[in-house]
Amino acid sequence: MTERFAPPAGGGCRTAPVLKERGQHEVFCGLTGIVWLHRKMPDAFFLVVGSRTCAHLLQSAAGVMIFAEPRFATAILEETDLAGLACAQEELDRVVAELLDRRPDIRRLFLVGSCPSEVIKLDLAKSAERLSAAHAPHVRVLNYSGSGIETTFTQGEDACLAAMVPDLPATDARELLVVGALPDVVEDQMRALLDGLGVGPVRVLPTRRADDAFGVGPNTRVILAQPFLGDTLAALRRRGAQHLAAPLPFGEEGTTLWLRTIAQAFGVSESRFDEVTSAPRARARAAVSRAAEALNGRSVFFFPDSQLEIPLARFLTRECGMRALEIGTPFLHREILTPELDLLPDGPTLSEGQDVERQLDRCRAAAPDLTVCGLGLANPLEAEGMATKWAIELVFTPVHFYEQAGDLAQLFARPLRRRALLAREHRA
């Protein structure tokens, strides 16, 4: 059963030229990450220090979640709050004290910075330090920026996780640390696979609870579950941890190579690897091939959005038979993405950053069967007759590892099927 995945015939995209663009870009800001992070960390609270725009974004991005007992809020700073910065700090102290008084379940409080110049002037790191001292040991207060000036939407998670790294105690234990907020059910599946391989102890950042804290040190082996965690990876490396570079666990191939990288680092035998992975691999292959019927031979164009674009293009081209025309990504982090680029068949334009009007022109000229883009571009492109997939869904939907491989392919197949049905109805 042992199978090595063949590199692409043209030698992959490691050395392919990259079109670098630095124009206007259309993406959500890093505050969006709060929507999935707050579900992952039930004892955490995210206090956005921002404007009414930030509050509206969170409410609309979180949708129905706002009606549940919320674990995020916005401390709205008006011009008047900044008559003096001392007043703004006092106001923040008051809001935090009231919040913690009302909500003793909060163990981790994140002060999340945003764009308004009033907020930028505040030193939230100092505020977090002061508030941590005031509310220790029950509550730890940390800060990061979700500002749209500094972050695209998945960078919010990176900034949040990176903020937690300096707090981790030191250890010499040989442990595997998986980094990235996965839905609980997916994390459990991953742990079951690693358990089957005999790899452990396995730590996950972020932890579900503050009390699940673990150490980091030179014997920590770090593997990323998401490609957008470059700052967190850098912070862990500064603590001595070693990175296991691997393709991301999307699709059957990505999952197998991700697990194999870990297995090799932890000395798992090939026979045990095959024993543990052969059944879920077969299930994943069957599920992907069912969904891939609608994708095979079709073309795809990615606008830069979530930083998932290159791993997803690898999955769609190698497992679903699609042809990538352009793969745009907000950042091309080579340390993380080289294993992906090695697998990606050559041919597509690789672009980093964005100049949205120019990219729209390229997209229209390329006339792809499917365009993966942000919400702001999807509706106008649909109105022009193009099939689109909202990139944000790929972050909110469980898509990692073997059991989700079929669902991942279905996410791309659905808009093509819908468009084919509409065309048929139109003709009838």
Closest CB to ligand SF4 among 136 and 149?
149
> Residue 123 Cβ, how far from ligand SF4 at the closest point, in Å?
17
* Using rule CB under 6 A, residue 176 touches ligand SF4: no
- For residue 329, give the nearest of 299, 354, 355 by alpha carbon: 354
Cα 200 to Cα 220: distance, rounded to the nearest angstrom = 11
Binding to ligand SF4 (CB under 6 A): which residues in 193-232? none
- Per CB under 6 A, 31 contacts ligand SF4: yes
* Count of positions (residues) in the chain: 428
Q: How far is the CB of 354 from ligand SF4 (least distance, A)?
A: 15
Spatial contact of 35 and 369, defined as CB atoms under 8 Å apart: no
* CA-closest candidate to residue 422, choices 386, 393, 390: 386
Residue burial 124-134, b: 16+ Cβ < 10 Å; e: rest? beebbebbbee
Residue 115 assigned as binding residue: yes
Per-residue tokens: 46:
């995210």
CA 19 to chain centre: 23
DSSP H or E stretch at residue 111? strand 108-113
- How many positions of this chain bind ligand SF4 (CB under 6 A)? 12
Give me 94's structure tokens: 């008051």
What b/e string do you get for 48-76 counting C-beta neighbours within 10 Å, with b at 16 or more?
bbbbebbbebbeebbeebeeeeebbebbb
Tell whether residue 147 is a contact of ligand SF4 (CB under 6 A). yes
Quick one: 95 or 366, whose CB is closer to ligand SF4? 95
Site string for ligand SF4, 112-131 (x = CB under 6 A): --xx----------------
Find the shortest distance in angstroms from Cβ 304 to ligand SF4.
16
Closest Cα partner for 253 from 316, 204, 310, 196?
Answer: 316
Strand 388-390's sheet: what is its strand order?
A: 18-22, 349-354, 323-329, 299-302, 370-373, 388-390
Smaller CB separation from ligand SF4, 29 or 324:
29
Show the tokens assigned to 154.
């998945």
C-beta of 332: minimal distance to ligand SF4 in Å?
23
- The Cα 144–Cα 147 span in angstroms is 9
CB 302 within 8 A of CB 327: yes
First-to-last alpha carbon distance for the chain, in angstroms, is: 49
CB of 148 to ligand SF4, least distance (A): 3
Residue 29 annotated in ligand binding? yes
Report, in Å, the least distance between residue 24 CB and ligand SF4: 14
Give the one residue of 29, 34, 75, 295 binding ligand SF4; rule: CB under 6 A: 29
367: left (phi over 0), alpha (psi -120 to 50) or beta: left
Of 58 and 181, the one with the shorter C-beta distance to ligand SF4 is 58
Q: Which is nearer to ligand SF4, 145 or 255 (CB)?
A: 145
Among 12, 148, 249, 339, binds ligand SF4 (CB under 6 A): 148
* Residue 204 C-beta: closest distance to ligand SF4, Å: 27
330 binds ligand SF4 (CB under 6 A): no
Question: Distance between CA atoms of 240 and 303, rounded to whole angstroms?
Answer: 35
Interface pattern 38-77 for ligand SF4 (x via CB under 6 A): ------------xx-xx--x--------------------
Output the smallest distance, CB 147 to ligand SF4, in A. 5
Please tell me whether residue 327 binds ligand SF4 under the rule CB under 6 A.
no
CB 283 within 8 A of CB 352: no
Q: Give the binding range for ligand SF4 (CB under 6 A) out of 13-21, 120-128, 141-149, 320-328.
A: 141-149
Residue 13 assigned as binding residue: no
Token pair recorded at residue 267: 């000395």
Of the listed pieces 76-84, 140-148, 213-221, 260-268, which binds ligand SF4 according to CB under 6 A?
A: 140-148
Return the structure tokens found at 427. 């003709």
Under DSSP, the state recorded for 169 is P
Q: Reply yes or no: is the peptide bond before residue 137 cis, omega within 30 of 0.
A: yes
Pick between residue 147 and residue 351 the one whose CB is nearest to ligand SF4: 147
Residue nearest to ligand SF4 (CB): 148
CB of 127 to ligand SF4, least distance (A): 17
Classify 1 as helix, strand or coil: coil
Binding residues for [4Fe-4S] cluster: 29, 54, 115
Binding residues: 29, 54, 115
Residues making contact with ligand SF4 (CB under 6 A): 29, 31, 50-51, 53-54, 57, 114-115, 146-148
